[in-house]
Chain A
Amino acid sequence: MKEWPLWEVFIRSQHGLAHKHVGSLHAPDAEMAIRNARDVYTRRNEGVSIWVVKAADITASSPGDKEALFEPANSKVYRHPTFYPMPDEVKGI
């Protein structure tokens, strides 16, 4: 028999915060995934909004590409404010 598909669950814990990944669960479709997420992940008032995404629909970056993807940003130190030393006398910047 077919297993119920796996869904990844994201919860917004308070207004003003981003949705955060909390775990996964099984459900036959999105509607029931939302309901199940409510029962599984918000039993203690943890949420004001729920997203569910089919786990199979998530594309993740490959750990093998980590260097190629993320290391080039390391060399761009000029993107950080600390790259620009300011004279002590100058305020408000």
Chain B
Amino acid sequence: MYAQLVDTGAKRVQSLEELSPEDRAFQERIDAGVKIEAKDPMPESYRRTLVRQISQHAHSEIVGMLPEGNWITRAPTLKRKAILLAKVQDEGGHGLYLYSAAETLGVSRDQMIADLHAGKAKYSSIFNYPTLSWADVGCIGWLVDGAAIINQIPLCRCSYGPYARAMVRVCKEESFHQRQGYDIMLALARGTAEQKAMAQEAFNRWWWPALAMQGPPDKDSVHSAQSMAWKIKLFSNDELRQKWLDQTVPQAHYLGLTVPDPDLAWNDETGHWEHGPIDWDEFYRVIKGDGPCNRDRLRARVKAWEDGAWVREAAVAHAEKRAARERVKAA
């Protein structure tokens, strides 16, 4: 998902009896559905994992502005331009809500950004794929934001209050994102032969990365089990992926698109769609930095940050001057 493969630092999930009295009291509060707030006592590993997860999520939103931002200047109508700009702006807002939530855990935004720029912090693999045509913008909204919503709605109930509240805000805004994406695809599907081909070509490229983006099967993952015990992850990756698949396949069919998976099949017994094997080597390769756009995305972020340094510095200098003047006036 937007936060993939989050390391919890756990070797295995300990039972209540094995936990120290403090950690046990903490786990019991979580089990009772009590929300943890910023100043509440919490195990250091819980805090560190949350910082990793939330900051990764925030970075994904910010880096995620780039592939779609690409097309703001080339949107085909003024209405689409306005919608896309508003959508990408929302992603920036979401990044900001999430950085805010992470900052309650005692890490500064500048530090998180420095970690991203140094390659120490991850962001979602999905944003390392290029947007090559207008239909890619449709695919991101429909498929990627669609997957994001499935992941994020449960997080509105996660155990950490500031994160849960940020997710509520994000989810409220996100459904417009998915719809605008599908709306772009609808227009293409109803369009000329060239437009239909554009839609199918983009769909072919986005299908597998979108299917993979919830992350590899994690039923045996210690980190996932620990995150689930802490209620900062509420469903397994496969559960989320299944939900996405079941909702997306009929949507694709409605558009007249062919799903690029020869093994895709409806299972009458389970009442679910089944997909062919996902190339997890590719997923890990992209996560580790060898996706088509990893270097470009990171360079773009670093450049924006470095180019803006003098502006941020000037704003602080000015605020200080102004405050000093006020003090003189008051004296």
Q: Which of B92-100, B144-152, B207-215, B266-274 participates in binding chain A? A: B92-100
A53 → B minimal CB distance (Å): 14
A40 within 8 A of partner (CB): yes
B318 → A minimal CB distance (Å): 7
Which chain B residues border A2 with CB–CB below 8 Å?
A: 313, 316
A5 → B minimal CB distance (Å): 9
Chain B residue nearest to A8 (CB atoms) is B100
Q: Quick check: B110 and A3 within 8 Å, CB to CB? A: yes
B315 within 8 A of partner (CB): yes
Contacts of A18-46 to chain B: CB distance below 8 A: 22-26, 28-29, 32, 40, 43-44
B190 within 8 A of partner (CB): no
B302 → A minimal CB distance (Å): 15
Chain A residue nearest to B104 (CB atoms) is A24
B214 → A minimal CB distance (Å): 27
Q: Quick check: A28 and B169 within 8 Å, CB to CB? A: no
How far does the alpha carbon of A24 sit from the alpha carbon of B40 in the complex, in Å? 19
Which chain A residues border B96 with CB–CB below 8 Å?
A: 23, 25, 40
Sorting the interface of chain A by its residue count into under 10, 10 to 19, 20 to 34 or 35 or more gives 20 to 34
Q: Quick check: A63 and B109 within 8 Å, CB to CB? A: no
A68 within 8 A of partner (CB): no
How far does the alpha carbon of A4 sit from the alpha carbon of B96 in the complex, in Å? 14
B322 within 8 A of partner (CB): yes
| Contact flag A4-B39 (CB < 8 Å), given A26-B109, A29-B322, A29-B323 | no
How far does the alpha carbon of A10 sit from the alpha carbon of B2 in the complex, in Å? 28
Q: Quick check: A4 and B173 within 8 Å, CB to CB? A: no
B43 within 8 A of partner (CB): no
A56 within 8 A of partner (CB): no
How far does the alpha carbon of A2 sit from the alpha carbon of B110 in the complex, in Å? 9
Tell me the dominant secondary structure on chain B's binding face. Answer: helix
A74 within 8 A of partner (CB): no
B118 within 8 A of partner (CB): no
How far does the alpha carbon of A50 sit from the alpha carbon of B159 in the complex, in Å? 28
B90 within 8 A of partner (CB): yes
Chain B residue nearest to A30 (CB atoms) is B319
Chain B residue nearest to A22 (CB atoms) is B169
| Contact flag A60-B318 (CB < 8 Å), given A3-B110, A4-B312, A26-B109 | no
Contact of A28 among B108, B173, B309, B315 (CB under 8 A): B315
Q: Quick check: A3 and B169 within 8 Å, CB to CB? A: no
Which chain B residues border A43 with CB–CB below 8 Å?
A: 86, 89-90, 93
How far does the alpha carbon of A22 sit from the alpha carbon of B86 in the complex, in Å? 20
How far does the alpha carbon of A4 sit from the alpha carbon of B312 in the complex, in Å? 7
B102 → A minimal CB distance (Å): 11
B41 within 8 A of partner (CB): yes
A20 → B minimal CB distance (Å): 11
Which chain B residues border A60 with CB–CB below 8 Å?
A: 39
Which chain A residues border B63 with CB–CB below 8 Å?
A: none
A1 within 8 A of partner (CB): yes
A82 within 8 A of partner (CB): no
Which chain A residues border B37 with CB–CB below 8 Å?
A: 63
In the complex, which of the residues A24, A62, A64 has the most CB atoms of chain B within 10 Å of its own CB atom?
Answer: A24
A68 → B minimal CB distance (Å): 15
How far does the alpha carbon of A45 sit from the alpha carbon of B89 in the complex, in Å? 15
Which chain A residues border B108 with CB–CB below 8 Å?
A: 3
How far does the alpha carbon of A28 sit from the alpha carbon of B315 in the complex, in Å? 6
B225 within 8 A of partner (CB): no
B103 within 8 A of partner (CB): yes
Instruction: List 15 A–B pairs whose Cβ atoms lie within 8 Å, in order of A's numbering.
Output: A1-B312, A3-B110, A4-B312, A23-B101, A23-B165, A25-B100, A28-B319, A32-B319, A40-B96, A43-B86, A43-B90, A43-B93, A60-B39, A63-B39, A63-B41
Known: A3-B110, A23-B165. 4 other contacts (CB 8 A): A4-B316, A25-B100, A32-B315, A63-B41
